[in-house]
Amino acid sequence: MKFNLRNVTRVALRALVTNKTRSTLTTLGIIIGVMAVILLVSFGSGLEKMITQQFEDLGTNLLFVMPGKFQFRDSREGGPPGVASNKLTQKDAERVARKVQTVEATLPITTTNATITYRGEETSTFIIGSTEQYETFRKSPVMSGKWFGKKDVDSGKRVAVAGMTVVEDLFGTKDPIGEKVSISGKKYQIIGVLESKGATFGNDQDDQLIIPISTLRQQFNIDKLSYFYVRVHEGADLEASMREIREVLGQRLEENEFSVLNSQELLSTFQNILGTITAALGGIAAISLLVGGIGIMNIMLVSVTERTREIGLRKAVGATPKTILFQFLMEAVILSLLGGIIGTLLGVLIGAIANNFLPVNTPLWAVLVAFGVSAAVGIIFGVYPARRAARLSPIEALRYE
């Protein structure tokens, strides 16, 4: 009997349709594997893209000054990055702005948590104390109202700009502009509402209240900075600026009491970490593809045993070993391809839905790799059962009970 790919495919499809339940369960392993690879890579890639975008939004001419010696330690050393006792003050930020020629401006930041109440409604939120330059430094425009000005900061006025989550928790649909809230027992007037930035992996960027840094220091008795931003002039040498900033701060602080960080260096570090995590997640998910492939081989071996007499009859009427081999190999490939198609569609669809709540980015390479591996799984794990079927002796096969 002459080998005919169309006939072989038709026979393979008929065999799979005859055992619908078994075929479906076998395909399920590939579906889950492909879907898991696409989703996990998409989540990791989405997080990396989000962080990259946030750093790009801040600009390439931004530096960060933090308390303590900030560094990503070798994993063999153990423990988180070391941070000495915080000695960073607003005067340090002012000295950097005044003494380093390439510095355009600095933005001091002090943070704390507090309970906010309004007419019986209560919420606990993140309080940021800063200056009137916060809006331009952090590119955080208000959707209604206005930002506080320099006079408000200098006088320690009790005014606040609220994130959308705080507004919804306290005011619902009511316009909060002009209303007064109580922050740990002190009255503050809401003068602005920030444009919504949404939530990322459990971190609600709208759950915050920004007040003048002088007001925060007075009420909460905090005289140290959490960190401060440094914006250098466009075209300035960042490395030279960082050296000058270290020299200025080093006049008062020890070397291990502060860190000057480049936004691009930070971004590169985060990208490397997230890239490794994404690859690891994809590798872990790929294990399920391996399990699915083993499942296909197992079912095909069972199928060969169950259909031994059928194989004997087909060989007796002229089917060549090549025809038998390709028939069983085609069954395995169809199962894996079908699982790959369904798994890919589900992975992309679920990723698109999840993108409404989480940062998800489905790269084309992840889809192609997942689908390609699923196809390869059918060939690799289908070869042994197919060769076993092709090598059966017609006489022994017909005698099989």
Where does the pLDDT of residue 210 fall: very low under 50, low under 70, confident under 90, or very high at 90 and above? Answer: very high
> Residue 67: inside a domain, yes or no?
no
Tell which wins on pLDDT, 235 or 4.
Answer: 235
> Is 111 found in the same domain as 27?
no
> Residue 117: inside a domain, yes or no?
yes
Final residue in a domain of this structure, among 190, 225, 260: 225
> Residue 252: inside a domain, yes or no?
no
> Residue 281: inside a domain, yes or no?
yes
> Is 221 found in the same domain as 92?
yes
> Is 219 found in the same domain as 130?
yes
Q: Which domain holds residue 370?
A: 5-53+270-399
Tens digit of each residue's pLDDT (9 = 90 or more) over 38-65: 888 888 888 777 777 776 666 668 888 9
Question: Structure pTM?
Answer: 0.63
Tens digit of each residue's pLDDT (9 = 90 or more) over 251-260: 998 888 898 9
Where does the pLDDT of residue 4 fall: very low under 50, low under 70, confident under 90, or very high at 90 and above? Answer: low
List strand residue ranges (DSSP E) for 16-92, in order. 62-67
Tens digit of each residue's pLDDT (9 = 90 or more) over 341-366: 898 899 889 988 888 777 788 888 88
Summary mean pLDDT of the chain: 82
> Residue 75: inside a domain, yes or no?
no
> Is 165 found in the same domain as 95?
yes
Q: Of 389, 372, 393, nearest to 326 (Cα)?
A: 389
Q: How many domains does the chain have?
A: 2
> Residue 59: inside a domain, yes or no?
no
Q: Measure CA of the first residue to CA of the last residue in the chain; give whole Å.
A: 26
CA angle 148, 150, 154 (to 5 degrees): 110
Q: Are 386 and 300 in contact (CB under 8 A)?
A: yes
Q: What percent of the chain has pLDDT over 70?
A: 84
The DSSP bridge partners found for residue 124 are 115
> Is 216 found in the same domain as 107?
yes
Where does the pLDDT of residue 202 fall: very low under 50, low under 70, confident under 90, or very high at 90 and above? Answer: low
